[in-house]
Amino acid sequence: MGSPFEAAAVTVDRGSVLLDTVKRGSFQREIRGVGTLVPVKILVVAANVEGRVVNRYVLPGAPMEPGTVMFDLANPKLAQDLFEAESQLKGAEADLANLKAQCDGLLFQQQSQLHRCGRTMSRPWCRIKPISNFRTRD
């Protein structure tokens, strides 16, 4: 017994049909539609500090090498902290230079006093006599 639906004869205008030989090769199908594209793989790049991207050097999807700079970050708080730290460093360096100068001055004073004492001690009337009857506590 056959199908309840009989094959109907279809008629097509020959000008609307493309006749060709079947060939082996790649097949590309293009589908159009409304929707959202979802990436196959998502990589998240984390930074050690907060900031705002000010310059972008690499576009999404571009191949990357290790060490490639992707973007510049700006962080006003971090920039202010750097400025304050550099100011403190300059102040500490100035204090160090001041302390070195003070030490050099004190050293010069000590050497001058030592030189004066040496000249005074060489005079016969200024010699120190050792104490012979020095007693110690028991």
For the whole model, what pTM was predicted?
0.41
pLDDT tens per residue, range 78-126: 889 999 999 999 999 999 999 999 999 998 988 888 777 766 666 655 5
Please give the tally of structural domains in the chain. 1
Residue 33 lies in a domain: no
CA dihedral 119, 123, 129, 130 (to 10 degrees): 40
Distance CA 134, CA 122 (A): 25
pLDDT tens per residue, range 16-66: 888 888 888 887 778 787 887 777 777 777 778 788 888 999 887 788 888
Residue 97 lies in a domain: yes
pLDDT tens per residue, range 57-85: 988 778 888 888 988 889 888 889 999 99
Residue 3 lies in a domain: no
Which residues span the domain enclosing 99?
39-126
What is the sign, positive or negative, of the torsion defined by CA atoms of 108, 110, 112, 114?
A: negative
pLDDT value at residue 135: 57
